[in-house]
Amino acid sequence: MTSPLDASIEITAYSWVPPFARGLVRDLRIRWVLEEMGTPYAVHLFDRRTAEADTRQPDQPFGQVPAFREGDVAMFESGAICLYLAERSDALLPRAPAARARALSWAVAALNSIEPWVLMVQCVTLFDRDKPGAADFAPTAVERLNARLAQLAAALDDREWLEDSFTVADILMVHVLLSLRRSGILAGHPTLAAYAERGEARPAYQRALAAQMADFIADEATL
Ligand SMILES: N[C@@H](CCC(=O)N[C@@H](CS)C(=O)NCC(=O)O)C(=O)O
């Protein structure tokens, strides 16, 4: 567990998820922001398999992670937490009004225009794939997601990041896109696949990923 003595920030994250979900749990977004800023943090690890025995449930209205605490500030929703933190960084959230407005627009787009379509596909192809109608609807869900991704790729075009410089919006967008890698959907959009790879190549992402992976219980046999 990451617990630097000088950390006033605490994230609640899972200590176990299935292997396919590792790297994709949304506390990674917050860890990535904090690593970009060089801000230390502690992690409260929560095992949802033994949730009832844990006296510290995530302080999150939907029982999910991540949750966040800094002094008397208690937050939930990964996007809100990332934006709250990015306020402290001129790089992650530019001060100039026009650039700031674009970064905020893209941050919300990641969570509100791209992630819902990703979730729809994940529901019918993964989480709820055995439910009635899921298999029938899956091709339509994938088609709708692909249409949205094509628009995103066109907007990104040949730029390195969503706007002139790397911002918190890229953290959110790259992390949303990475959840599509395993399905092969991301590879169908080479512009976006390359963009996600640029995000992953950042040392701060690598540190955040390593920290999340190190916090997971090694395997199911340990319980
Ligand atoms: N919109 C929320 C979504 C949080 C979320 O879906 N968390 C997942 C892990 S990445 C979770 O806790 N899933 C378990 C559950 O929904 O019970 C956010 O961005 O923080």
pLDDT reported for residue 57:
76
Question: Which atom of ligand 1 lies closest to the CA of 64?
Answer: 12
For residue 174, count other CB atoms closer than 10 A to its CB: 24
* Whether the CB of 28 sits within 6 Å of ligand 1: no
75 SS3 class: strand
* Whether the CB of 63 sits within 6 Å of ligand 1: yes
- Tell me if 169 sits within 8 A of 155, measured CB to CB: no
User: What 8-state DSSP symbol labels residue 208?
Assistant: H
- Tell me if 118 sits within 8 A of 173, measured CB to CB: no
pLDDT reported for residue 5:
61
Record the tokens describing residue 34, joined without a space.
């904090």
132-170 pLDDT, tens digit each: 999 999 999 999 999 999 999 999 999 999 999 999 999
81-112 pLDDT, tens digit each: 999 999 999 999 999 999 999 999 999 999 99
- Side-chain-facing half-sphere of 48: CA atoms under 13 Å: 12
pLDDT reported for residue 56:
75
Q: What is the DSSP string of 177-204?
A: HHTTTTTTTGGG-HHHHHHHHHHHTSHH
Pocket of ligand 1, candidates 25, 47, 64, 127: which has the most ligand atoms within 8 Å of its Cβ, to mutate?
Answer: 64
- Tell me if 82 sits within 8 A of 107, measured CB to CB: yes
Interatomic CA distance for residues 84 and 79, integer angstroms:
9
Q: Which residues of 98-119 are buried (b: 16+ CB within 10 A; e: fewer)?
A: ebeebbbebbebbbeebbebbe
Residue nearest atom 2 of ligand 1, based on CA coordinates: 77
45-59, 129-143, 165-179, 205-219: least confident range:
45-59
pLDDT reported for residue 48:
81
* Whether the CB of 26 sits within 6 Å of ligand 1: yes
For residue 125, count other CB atoms closer than 10 A to its CB: 18
Pocket of ligand 1, candidates 65, 112, 171: which has the most ligand atoms within 8 Å of its Cβ, to mutate?
Answer: 65
Quote the pTM value.
0.95
> How many whole angstroms from 95 Cα to the centroid of ligand 1?
30
User: What 8-state DSSP symbol labels residue 10?
Assistant: E
